[in-house]
Every structure is written in C-alpha cells, then in structure tokens.
Structure 1
Amino acid sequence: EIEFNGSNYDFVGGRGYIEKDWGRNFPENWIWAQSNHFSNNDLSITASLATIPWKNTSFAGFIVGLYYKSNFYRFTTYRSAVTKEIHYDFNKFYWQIKQKDLTLELTIEKGHKAGLLYAPDKIDMVPKVHEYLDGNIYLKLYDHKGTILEDQTTSAAVEIIGDVSKLINMAGGLKSGLK
C-alpha cells in the first residue's frame, strides 16, 4: 500500500516489474520492452536485445522472459536461443526467436509519449533514456503442435536506443537493418 497526496493505493494481488542495473554503463545500443497488461491477465513479458561488449569485440545478446499460466519461458543468448528473423523500420521492430521446439514472434512499436530517464554514465547518473509507456507489443508463442499463446497490448514500456541498424545487423538481420 502506498499513500500519496492523501490517497491510499492498494496493490495487493497485483503484478509489477522491477529491475536493477549493474555496472557503470548501459549498452551502446538496445531495444527493450516490458508489459503486464495483456487481454490475458496471466501474461507478462520482458524482452531485451543489446550490444554486449566482450573482450575486444561485441555481440548482440538477448534475454526474453515470458510468463504465461504459471510457466516461465526463457529465450536467451546464453541458453542457445537463435534469432530466425529480425528487422526494424524506425518505429516497428519485428523479432522471431527459436529455442529448442519453441518459437516466439514479437512485434514491438514505440508509443507517442516518452519520459526521460536517468541512466548510468561513466561518472554519474545522467538523463539519457527516452522510454515510452504507451508502446505496443504483439506476441505469438508456438511449437510444432500449434499456437500456445497469441496476444497484444497497447500498454507497454518500450526503449529503442542507439544505432539500431548496427544492432539488428549484429543480431542477424538485413545488412541495412531495414525491411
């Protein structure tokens, strides 16, 4: 329960999202989206794709967590998931990921109103991340038997930051990053 401006807000039984960012810097380029607000109330997703520095090079790494009907599906670089198709058209990001016998299709769109968030820099926290809270996510999860889940939301947090064409190319997309 939170008291704010003389009003009490009760979150018992609700779901939320919280993260902790470790380190001193954000990746150079990234796409991130999160939502708990789908037509199916037992559904949440967090998806991120970013340029990950590694030794003297970098690669496109990703983590997607999908919670649905008490099951948690993880699609990650470190669990050998692969990007089958990926492209971006300056507002809409399409991504198809395969892990073992599961395939996840995501379409993520920026919203229209962004807030400016502080993020770690080399020395301090600085205002540098435009985050949309009115973004869209369409998702479809399926296996060889058929569709497990298909849903969409217009209440997603979305960040699309940096040289996205470079990121898409690193992740296996078209050379221009566009389709």
Structure 2
Amino acid sequence: MEINLVHKDAIIKGTLNLGTFMPIKKSILMPNIMGYFAYIPNMECNHGVISMNHRVSGKLRINNEEIDFNNGKGYVEKDWGTSFPKEYIWIQCNNFSNDGVSLFCSIAHIPFLKGSFTGFICNLVVEDSEYRFATYNNSTAIIKKVSSNKVTISLENHKAKLEIQAMVKDSGELIAPKLGKMGEKIKEESAGQVKITLYDKVNKSRLEEQGYMAGIEIVGYES
C-alpha cells in the first residue's frame, strides 16, 4: 500500500505491506459480522470486519519523523450507510501478550422500522478458535459500568462468557458521518487499554489477557 498525503499541517509518505488477512467465520445466515441483519436494506449504519489480525511491515514518514511498522500487526474493518449511531461503544484490540488473540466489540443504538433497539456484536479470536457474541445468535450483553473514558461489558452465550474492561487514556477528534455528510465530531482513542476474561464453558478453560494500543470509542454516554 503506497501512501502519499500532502496537507498544510502534515506530509505523510511511505509504503506499508499487509500480510495474509484473517477473515471471520461466515455462513448463509451470517454473510458478515452483522449476521442476518446484513440482508435488511436501508440500515442506518452497516459494519464489516475484513481482517481480525494480520502482519504489517514497512515505514511511513510523517513530516520529518520516520515510523517503523516492521513486525507490526493490523486489523481492517469498514462501515457504510448514512450515519454513525447516536449512542455506541466500539472496542478493538489485537495487541495482547498472546499473539493469537484479537478482539472486536460494538454495542449500538439501532433505528429499526418505526422504533429502535440496542444491538451488539463481539468477535474474539484465540489462536484457531473464534467466539462470537451477538444479538442474532442468542447471546446477551450487559454494560456493567460506563463513562466517557471507561467501560465494563459482560457478554454470554451457551458456549462462553466474556468480560471486557476498556479504558481511554487520551482520545483525539475524528470526523464521522451524519445524515450522509461527514459533519459529526466524535472522540476516538487509539492507544487505550483492554482487559479480557474469557471462560469457555465447553472446554472448561479460562483466559485472561491484557491488551494495549486499543481502539476505543464511547459515544453518547455521559461522563
């Protein structure tokens, strides 16, 4: 991937090489991370996960500073629609002590027909195993604690239970879509901290991991 961006405040140039993508598991009922909701037209915001984890190499020069991405890790997702949800939590991290762990989690207010509901999707990869918690697969999600800079979420289904604790350290401003225009300003953390505790009910196993350099957005919740 060649990058050549010139702005009055920054010049960014370089080349990044992306390794083999790790896609999520799919089926006819779950063509993407949205499950069967992917078949419903005119959703306000659609989401797709392209790669849960992959290698990154290369270098970028930002103004006069060179950033080395060799031995780095990547994650790729996409959104499309007209607006981000008015209230949502988004967490992503694949920088854990266990190199094979990668997390994505989102809980959001979703307009639907003439009403609305709170939907959630969470995907955790541990080596060769994938744990999916979602509105569409009979899972439950409870926001145990939330503020503008900290959130604790508990997710559960018949296969596993997962608790996520995420902390924002120093968020920056991000332009987001609203009614088809990029006119909304939100806060996004790109160096947050995440702690996960997973209990696998089938294998009777427990996993605890501390993650760093996490992406975190907590939008629409009072501090």
* CA RMSD after TM alignment: 2.4
Give the letter aligned to residue 28 of structure 1. Answer: K
User: How far, CA to CA, are the matches of 2:142 and 2:174 in structure 1?
Assistant: 32
User: How far, CA to CA, are the matches of 1:141 and 1:119 in structure 2?
Assistant: 32
User: How far, CA to CA, are the matches of 2:136 and 2:156 in structure 1?
Assistant: 13
Q: Does 1:70 align with 2:133?
A: no
Question: What is the match of residue 44 of structure 1?
Answer: 102
Provide the identity percentage.
34
Q: Runs of 4 or more off by more than 4 Å in structure 1?
A: 6-11
The 5 Å alignment of 1:1-179 reads 1-2=15-16, 4-5=60-61, 14-84=72-142, 86-111=144-169, 113-144=170-201, 146-163=204-221
Would the aligned equivalents of 1:30 and 1:49 in 2 still touch at CA under 8 Å? yes
User: How far, CA to CA, are the matches of 2:159 and 2:130 in structure 1?
Assistant: 15
SS in 2 for 1:20: strand
The answer to which of 83-92 and 54-63 deviates more is 83-92
Seen in structure 2, the aligned counterparts of structure 1 residues 25 and 152 have a Cα distance that, compared at 3 Å, is: same
TM-score normalised by the chain length of structure 2: 0.65
- 1:99-136: CA deviation from partner (whole Å, max 9, x where unpaired): 1131011111112x222112112142135121012211
Would the aligned equivalents of 1:140 and 1:147 in 2 still touch at CA under 8 Å? no
TM-score normalised by the chain length of structure 1: 0.79
Displacement, 1:4?
3.3
Larger gyration radius, structure 1 or structure 2:
2
Seen in structure 2, the aligned counterparts of structure 1 residues 23 and 92 have a Cα distance that, compared at 3 Å, is: same
User: How far, CA to CA, are the matches of 1:163 and 1:17 in structure 2?
Assistant: 26
Displacement, 1:89?
4.3
User: How far, CA to CA, are the matches of 2:217 and 2:175 in structure 1?
Assistant: 13
Seen in structure 2, the aligned counterparts of structure 1 residues 81 and 164 have a Cα distance that, compared at 3 Å, is: farther
Question: What is the match of residue 26 of structure 2?
Answer: none
Would the aligned equivalents of 2:174 and 2:186 in 1 still touch at CA under 8 Å? yes
Give the letter aligned to residue 190 of structure 2. Answer: L
Seen in structure 2, the aligned counterparts of structure 1 residues 63 and 143 have a Cα distance that, compared at 3 Å, is: same
Unaligned runs of 5+ in 1: 166-179
SS in 2 for 1:39: coil
SS in 2 for 1:78: helix
Unaligned runs of 5+ in 2: 1-14, 17-58
SS in 2 for 1:17: strand
How many residue pairs end up in the alignment? 163
SS in 2 for 1:93: strand
